[in-house]
Structure 1
Amino acid sequence: MYRKYELEHMVKKCVNLIHGLSSKANGELTCYYRSQQIIILVGKNESKPPVTVNETKAFAHELVELLTREMKKTQFLIGIGSQHKTFSSLHRSFFEAQKAMRLMQRFKDIRIISHFEDYTVYHFLDFNIKPAEMEEFFHNTIGVIHHHDQTFNTNIISTLEYYFMHNQNVTEAAKAMFIHRNTFIYRVDKIKELLNSNLKNADELFQIQLALNLYRLLNKG
């Protein structure tokens, strides 16, 4: 009973804080609580230009900063759906926002805010390529790294992900992984050795990044 009261109190506080930022939402804001999720709807006037993804994310970032500042012991995750013109299409935006959150959790993403469009590549791969074809491409491209990780209990694939995530900036990637720069360089050298690549050829880099996307979709981690 106490837990239920505590949860209701927390939700009420969140909703009040969200309404406090309504003036920055670029539209009329409505929010309600359902199944441990707070759903925020932002209505737009058709005479005004649509809000961009970056503008929506900027509002979400302000929202998270406010919520985490006022509710320090609570973690927040925000998924954003696409804009739709008709009320009957709202369920699609809600579905997209939920899927964005699920993908963040599934991929153990470092982000706490994501838009459905952030995962366009994954949606395309998931709907257009058969699992067996994904598996084959992954195996042929970076399967040797996955095998090395499984055999020697290393995390070379994770290093590769951070390497691309930080635009091949070794210093920034090492900081993000909380390891020494020299350790990261050693791992990258190991990747080059395993793949027999200098990681400079554009076509090779594209294939490796595509294989990393499949790594997440196939739940290899």
Structure 2
Amino acid sequence: MIVNNLLEDVFLKLVHSMYRRAKGRMKVKSLFVGIGTKMKDIRELHLSYQRALSAVSLARMFHQNIMCFDDMGIYQILFSIQDKKILSDMYHRLLDCLIQYDKKHHGELEKTFYYYLKYDGSPQKIAKVTYTHRNTVNYRIDKIKKLLNNDLATFEDKFPYMMAFYIAKMME
């Protein structure tokens, strides 16, 4: 659907109304709607369409009925990369050592590392969410730092790894 000169709240009400009608008529298990971005020039309409497709993909990923491209956060950038192999290569380059260690030792370093990044290194929060003793969490964090050869002291040290986890979610 393409609209011109429509207030955003009116537009969103229209989209939600159309969604409810379509869902009621189609009797499908899942229906997802992606909303692109506003464009000032009709020659950029294809960009809004591509962004709407990205929003649909993310809506499916997170099981949300309606997703706006403008609300996608970092996924805006990740979904805009045409060469998905770049993303896959980045993920594997950064996390394969943990994945391989987990496979070989039946460990949970990758999962622990994700929560380490998510909870800004708090052993208490990581222990709670993983149902693991705090000493075990500390041991795993030390092991992760050694395997990655990175002390994870700064935001710049951690950011690429968080991106890798976002990529992993995309690749599911």
Which category describes the TM-score, using the shorter chain as reference length? 0.5 to 0.7
Residue 96 and residue 170 in structure 1: after superposition, are their counterparts in 2 closer, same or farther (change >3 A)?
same
1:195 aligns with 2:153: no
Map 1:71-220; keep pairs closer than 5 Å. 99-104=57-62, 117=70, 119-128=72-81, 130-219=83-172
Percent sequence identity over matched residues?
21
Contact 2:119–2:125 (Cα < 8 Å) also in 1: yes
| Structure-1 residue corresponding to 2:44 | none
Q: Supply the AA of the counterpart residue of 1:174.
A: A
Q: Secondary structure at the match of 2:72?
A: helix
Distance 2:99 2:142 in 1: 16
Residue 153 and residue 130 in structure 1: after superposition, are their counterparts in 2 closer, same or farther (change >3 A)?
farther
Q: Supply the AA of the counterpart residue of 2:143.
A: K
Q: Secondary structure at the match of 1:144?
A: helix
Deviation at 1:192, TM superposition (A): 0.8
Contact 1:149–1:157 (Cα < 8 Å) also in 2: yes
Residue 83 and residue 175 in structure 1: after superposition, are their counterparts in 2 closer, same or farther (change >3 A)?
farther
Unaligned runs of 5+ in 2: 1-8, 39-48
Q: TM-score, length-normalised on structure 2?
A: 0.61
Give deviations 1:46-79, integer Å, cap 9, x for gaps. Answer: xxxxxxxxxxxxxxxxxxxxxxxxxxxxxxxxx9
Deviation at 1:190, TM superposition (A): 1.4
| Structure-2 residue corresponding to 1:19 | none
After the TM superposition, which parts of structure 1 deviate over 6 Å for at least 4 consecutive aligned residues?
A: 26-30, 79-84, 94-97
Q: Supply the AA of the counterpart residue of 2:88.
A: E
Higher RCO, 1 vs 2 (CA within 8 Å, ≥6 residues apart): 2
Deviation at 1:162, TM superposition (A): 1.2
Higher strand share: 1
Contact 1:100–1:115 (Cα < 8 Å) also in 2: no
Residue 201 and residue 184 in structure 1: after superposition, are their counterparts in 2 closer, same or farther (change >3 A)?
same
RMSD of the alignment, in Å?
3.8
Deviation at 1:96, TM superposition (A): 7.5
Deviation at 1:126, TM superposition (A): 2.6
Contact 2:119–2:126 (Cα < 8 Å) also in 1: yes
Q: Supply the AA of the counterpart residue of 1:102.
A: R
